[in-house]
A = this chain, B = another copy of it.
């Protein structure tokens, strides 16, 4: 299985990740931008994801909730910036449990030889805010979500 690469340099309020998927770019982009697909992979397996809003246009807002069997629910929301395309997308990200903290994410999709590399670039308001997100399990949650995405993409390709 392909591993997710993570870079979180000391003193820099940024986290970079890269992960290759065995799928064409158009399909990976669909999995990032169609709510019906997004809920099937984004985040750890223990959460059920519900999308409240997903207005994929410049200035449009999104919101989703992760719920677990114990009754916990975690809300996240943000705003899309610019026109999303299979080249990439830019959006802000706020965890509603930590109001006032805003993260800005740039995601790009690069296809080569039928495989697609997804790169994420998250910038934070401070190194402290970055470290808080890293310590909250950001990379582990993303990595588990990407394992689910790999399975979803394989299923979509098999059923195409």
Chain A interface (Cβ within 8 Å of chain B)?
9, 11-14, 59, 61, 79, 81-82, 90, 92, 94, 99-100, 102, 104, 106, 121, 123-126
Contact A81 B90 (CB under 8 A): no
A-B contact pairs, 19 of them (CB 8 A): A9-B11, A11-B11, A11-B12, A13-B123, A59-B61, A79-B81, A81-B92, A81-B102, A82-B94, A82-B100, A82-B102, A90-B102, A92-B104, A102-B106, A104-B104, A104-B123, A121-B125, A121-B126, A123-B125
Tell me the bound Cα distance from A9 to B82 in angstroms: 28
**Chain B residues, Cβ within 8 Å of A125:** 90, 104, 106, 121, 123
Nearest B residue to A78 via CB reads B81
The count of identical subunits is 2
**Chain B residues, Cβ within 8 Å of A11:** 9, 11-12
Tell me the bound Cα distance from A124 to B123 in angstroms: 7
Nearest B residue to A123 via CB reads B123
**Chain B residues, Cβ within 8 Å of A79:** 59, 79, 81, 92
CB distance from A91 to the nearest CB of B (A): 9
**Chain B residues, Cβ within 8 Å of A106:** 102, 125
Tell me the bound Cα distance from A11 to B11 in angstroms: 9
CB distance from A43 to the nearest CB of B (A): 22
Taking A13-B13, A123-B125 as given, write out 12 further A-B residue pairs in contact, using a Cβ cutoff of 8 Å, ordered by the A residue number: A11-B12, A12-B12, A13-B14, A82-B94, A82-B99, A82-B102, A90-B100, A90-B125, A104-B123, A106-B125, A121-B126, A123-B123
